[in-house]
Chains A and B, each alone.
Chain A
Amino acid sequence: MKFYTVEIEERREFGAYTLLSYRWPGENIEPGRFVMARAAGYPITLDPFLARPFSFYDFVDGVASLLFEVRGRGTELLDRALGTIEVTAPLGKGFEIGVSGGRAALLGGGIGVVPLKILGRELAARGIAHDVFLGFLDGKTAAVADDFPGAAVATMDGSTGVHGTVLDAAPDLREYPVVYACGPNAMLAAVKGAAGPDGLRQLSVEERMGCGNGSCNGCVVPVDGGYVRSCIEGPVFRAEVLAW
């Protein structure tokens, strides 16, 4: 896998989350695609050894941004990175946009809110009406909601917005011809159930990845008859494809 050293353009904190941005001279970045990133390359970082996958948070005027929560050593080192980080080119399949008419619901759980920023920007640019619903554990993780004007918010501890899950903040999802969601598998399964089978339902999964280019077969999700790689066939899937 080829990595590029890029300069950090901006570092910002939203409560529990860190935003890092960098200039990406390559192609336009479609919402839902992701990148493998790390603080530094071989041989500096033998431990942690693998890069980490991140959905793009935003892409404006050639500046790509990532938003993440420090969960372990990989994200901790990225959080402390000074000057440069290493990234791959954009990877994976993003959201299908405009293939089906009507209002869209965007649902994000925790750090799963990430791809909704760039997705919302693209929908707005295309004049597609949409509503955003964000669910968080607590007030500290919910701080990023400030960057989603107009979004309905829920927190599990009730500190911000509605007390409950993202579904408690959303109306009947079956009313929406288009539903996009990203978050933990349990949340995505709940969204899939609540949204029903009709219309376009797309889920962006969060899986551990080894390589990001299809080679290691580590990031699979269950489908009818087996497993597919979330880095190549995803990370965005039509809900009906996923066997959960």
Chain B
Amino acid sequence: MVVREPLTGVDLSVELCGMTLRTPLVPASGTLAKEALGEVEGVYGAILPKTTTPSARPGNPPPRIAETPAGMVNSIGLQNPGVERFMQDLDAFDLGVPIFVSVAGETVRDFVALCERVSQDERVAAIELNLSCPNVEHGGLTFCAGPAAVEEVVAACRAVVPAKPLFAKLTHEGVVGNARAAESAGADALTVMNTIPALTIDAKKRSVLVRGGLSGPAVKPVALKAVHEVASTVGVPVLGGGGVTSGVDVAEFMLAGATVVQVGTASFVRDPGEILAEFSDYLREAGMGAAELTGALR
């Protein structure tokens, strides 16, 4: 267990949907294994484990990852043991901070069933709908394909989750329209953004290496724009993320309008505690608390 210097003199706490988070950092779904939790104690304001699905998914065959300049492309295929086993193991993610659970299904019914199952559990503080997976009832377009698709699934989930915060995680394409739809369907907050669809090719073998989602510092400007546009459009809070790799990156996302900032791929190459320490330094220098930073662009 890493012992950290107390980050004195800086108020890192933020309010999100009635919850007080001790820091504005939250792991992006799919980037924090339970085996790595010991390294992040005291860093995150909430924990967000890898997306769970109705039944177990083996995930995609390797290769699943390819490095790209300032980033990586991944195609994991939502490998997970299924929601029942996931809930049995949830205690492993208890670091004394709220647990947000990310869910994904192939149909609206899947999402509804997952929300019903997960929201009943008192260990779950909020639910994030991972809307970037293919909707098998709509020709494989994702649940993020357009406002109608977003509205349908969010409204259906909202109906069965009356009392817990519900977040909709959106991709950057069409994000403003989708954000409006999610808000009007009752989402309490929006997570912006997911990875960007991308392709890597092995020229030597003349074959596709990995077709998946691009993440890492390379996507940061795209994510910042999406967060800024969404935060300027909707009234609900935004969990912003995409390529956040330093404390200054955290500040930039909050300035763009994020209330909470998700750290994903960067945690593979840095200690997230260093990112929080840098963010604390930024706040100290600015003479501000974390919560004051949201949307504070001059």
Contacts and interface: CB of A to CB of B under 8 A. Distances in A.
Interface residues of A, number: 31
A185 to B, nearest CB: 10
A50 B72 contact: yes
What 8 A-B pairs are tightest by C-beta distance, nearest first? A218-B65, A214-B33, A226-B58, A211-B268, A214-B35, A2-B271, A213-B36, A46-B70
B72 A210 contact: yes
Contacts of A218: 62, 64-65, 74, 76
Interface residues of B, number: 38
B32 A215 contact: yes
Interface in B1-55: 2, 30-36, 39, 50
B268 A1 contact: yes
Contacts of B58: 225-227
A41 B270 contact: yes
Contacts of B245: 42-43
Main secondary structure on chain A at its contact with chain B?
loop
A51 interface: yes
A2 B2 contact: yes
Interface in B263-284: 266-271, 273
A48 B217 CA distance: 12
Nearest to A207: B62
Interface of A: 1-3, 41-43, 46-51, 207-208, 210-222, 225-227, 232
B269 A50 contact: yes
B246 A210 contact: no
A38 B67 CA distance: 14
A51 B271 CA distance: 13
A49 B67 contact: yes
A25 to B, nearest CB: 16
B232 interface: no
Contacts of B67: 48-50
A90 to B, nearest CB: 14
B287 interface: no
Contact of A208 (B63, B76, B271): B63
B59 interface: yes
A46 B270 CA distance: 11
B53 to A, nearest CB: 13
B33 A42 contact: no
Interface in B60-117: 61-65, 67-72, 74, 76, 79
B269 to A, nearest CB: 6
